[in-house]
Amino acid sequence: MPVRKNRDSLVCTCAILIVIVAEILLFSASDARAGGGQDSAGAKATFQTKCAMCHGPDGTGSEVGKSLNIPDLRSEAVRKVPDAELVKIVSDGKGGMPPFKGSLTEAQIHALVRYVRSLRQHKK
């Protein structure tokens, strides 16, 4: 009888652990999906503080940016640039644009690229 009780206890413990692990995994997955909004809000704030001075608040370019001939971030030309290249441009800089790899994390840079991609959806 004690062997069966130990085995039943072990099975019950394993079942509980499986349920706990499954809940953690499901929670993590739903949290990651929900984090998209936070990621977007954070990227928008980063864009406003780091990029809008030249690129304008909506990506069309500020007066300073237009005087430097920066492209409209919502344009077809920018849409054709692969994400990896945009990440490199933000990281390393290009032309008159300074590099941001020293002041932004890789995750922030990737979030900025996703944010720039979302700007085209708002183009009139």
CATH number, domain containing residue 63: 1.10.760.10
Give the residue-averaged pLDDT of 7-21: 61
Tell me which DSSP letter residue 48 carries: I
Structural tokens at position 110: 């990737």
Do the beta carbons of residue 92 and residue 99 sit within 8 Å? Answer: yes
- Classify residue 14: in a domain, yes or no: no
- Classify residue 31: in a domain, yes or no: no
Nearest to 58 by CA among 68, 73, 70: 73
14 vs 109 pLDDT, higher one = 109
* Owning domain of residue 94: 36-122
- Classify residue 83: in a domain, yes or no: yes
Q: Is the pLDDT of residue 48 over 90?
A: yes
Question: What's the structural domain count of the chain?
Answer: 1
Do the beta carbons of residue 93 and residue 115 sit within 8 Å? Answer: no
Tell me which DSSP letter residue 6 carries: H
